[in-house]
Amino acid sequence: MRSGCLLLLLVSACWALPFRQSGFMDFMMEDDAGSADLPESEVPVLSLPPPAAGPVCPFKCQCHLRVVQCSDLGLKSVPDNIPADSSLLDLQNNKITEIRENDFKGLKQLHALILVNNQITTIHAKAFTPLISLQRLYLSKNMLKEFPSNMPKSLQELRIHENQITKIKKSSFSGLAHIIVMEMGSNPFKNSGIEGGSFSDLKRVSYIRISDTNLTAIPKGLPSSLSELHLDGNKITKVQADSLKGLKNLAKLGLSHNEISVVENGSLAMVPHLRELHLDNNALTTVPSGLPEHKYIQVIYLHNNKIAAVGTEDFCPPGFNTKKAMYSGISLFSNPVPYWEVQPITFRCVFDRSAIQLGNYRKK
């Protein structure tokens, strides 16, 4: 409870002080109609108290320590008066339509910017320039048609799910050498809209998710640093071995809910450290080749395909078990193959009987 007490102290300390809206008058300067030019001389100024200094916080938002919580307020634009030392700015679930050039001016210490679920269509090319410390940028559920330009180089996580982006250009991610997580599902991407070399600057990316888009193939040229790749809910028809080339760190690959009928020979050899592969809900007619030779794969989902036969050598190596990790999950239900035709010895390198799902029942 230590931090609880600390927080409460800080909260009460903050709220006990009078606050000041220092930016309140800024827009007056733009008012050329000149409505409030009051003659100053007539104002009796005599021993007036000084304007209060203290924490600044946009009305209705909550500013505690360095977190500015402004979600669910119906805001139509980014508010003024965001404290300059803010670390996290939460603006989700508002009605912001546009990010303007000076909206984040001076927020040099901002680490996380959450703009999820607004109506943002345009972001000024220089809007993110002040954000030299930004690590997380959440832009999901907006109406962006392209990736924002000039995203901060310090960025580690970009979430831009559910927008209207069609293209990944070579310039889209240029210089983003610190990105670790990139989630860009539910955008109308097509393979033809992905320029070659688009991902080449992402030297440290470990998680990429491009689900529920119009991709018909695994994009080529993905960075070798990748440990998770999620491409479920696309229109991929075939796993091409060369699209996985170089992904030597890949541990999880999600390809569920595509239209995959073929996994090319040699595909699994490209990803020697794969642990988990989801190929459920596709159009496979056979178990993908290369599983017995793969040393680390532990979980493979193949349910809801068109697999009509399973051979005794489909999963496990012949003779001595040369696998370094036993399977902990294999799903084969909802396939035409009758389970009584699958020989028990097929699963000799499985950790536990319960790890196999054969029957035509769905896992909850």
Partner 1 sequence: MRLFFLLALLVLCHGKPYKRINVMDLLKIHDIMQQDAGDDDDEDDDDDGDYDDNNFLLDCPFACQCSLRVVQCSDLGLTSVPENIPPDTLMIDLQNNDITEIKEDDFKGMGNLYALFLVNNQISKIHPKAFSNMEKLKLLYLSYNLLTQIPVNLPKNILELRIHDNKISRIQREAFKGMQSLHVLEMSANPITNNGIELGAFDSMSTLYLRIAEAKLSAIPKDLPSSLTELHLDYNKIAKVEEEDLRRYKKLLRLGLGFNQIKSVENGTMANIPSIREIHLDNNKLKKVPPGLNTLKYLQVVYLHANSINSVGVNDFCPIRSRVKKTLYSGISLYANPVKYWEIQPATFRCVSGRRGVQLGNFGRK
Query: Of residues 212-251, which lie at the interface with partner 1 (CB under 8 A)?
Result: 212, 227-228, 230, 232-233, 251
Under rule CB under 8 A, which residues in 148-177 are in contact with partner 1? 156-157, 159, 161-162
Cβ distance to partner 1 smaller for residue 156 or 334: 156
Binding track over 82-111 against partner 1, x by CB under 8 A: -----xx-x--x-----------------x
Distances (CA, A) of 336 to 26, 332, 342, 358: 70, 10, 12, 11
Judged by CB under 8 A, the residue of 55, 77, 126, 262 near partner 1 is: 77
The answer to the question of residue 323 lying near partner 1 (CB under 8 A) is no
Cβ(137)–Cβ(151) under 8 Å? yes
Token pair for 149: 């330009």
CA 61, 66, 163 angle in degrees (round to 5)?
65
* β pairing state of 356-357 and 98-99: unpaired
Judged by CB under 8 A, the residue of 94, 117, 172, 234 near partner 1 is: 117
Round to whole Å and give the CA distance between 265 and 149: 40
> DSSP letter string over 42-77?
GS---SPPPPPP-----TT-EEETTEEE-TTS--SS
Judged by CB under 8 A, the residue of 21, 119, 192, 224 near partner 1 is: 21
Location of structure tokens 């990139």: 182
The answer to the question of residue 344 lying near partner 1 (CB under 8 A) is no
Minimum separation from the CB atom of position 174 to partner 1 (A)? 21
Cβ(61)–Cβ(94) under 8 Å? no
The answer to the question of residue 207 lying near partner 1 (CB under 8 A) is yes
Choose the binding region for partner 1 from 200-208, 213-221, 304-312, 333-341 (rule: CB under 8 A): 200-208
Under rule CB under 8 A, which residues in 129-148 are in contact with partner 1? 135-136, 140-141
Minimum separation from the CB atom of position 62 to partner 1 (A)? 6
**List of residues 6+ apart from 234 with CB closer than 8 A:** 210, 211, 212, 213, 214, 215, 216, 257, 258
The answer to the question of residue 112 lying near partner 1 (CB under 8 A) is yes
Choose the binding region for partner 1 from 67-75, 168-176, 192-200, 330-338 (rule: CB under 8 A): 67-75
Cβ distance to partner 1 smaller for residue 187 or 305: 187
DSSP letter for 177, please: T
> DSSP letter string over 110-142?
--EEE--SS---EE-TTTTTT-TT--EEE--SS
The answer to the question of residue 43 lying near partner 1 (CB under 8 A) is yes
Minimum separation from the CB atom of position 41 to partner 1 (A)? 9
Cβ(102)–Cβ(123) under 8 Å? no
Minimum separation from the CB atom of position 154 to partner 1 (A)? 9
> DSSP letter string over 270-302?
H-TT--EEE--SS--SSPPTTTTT-SS--EEE-
Judged by CB under 8 A, the residue of 152, 185, 288, 290 near partner 1 is: 185
Judged by CB under 8 A, the residue of 213, 276, 294, 334 near partner 1 is: 276
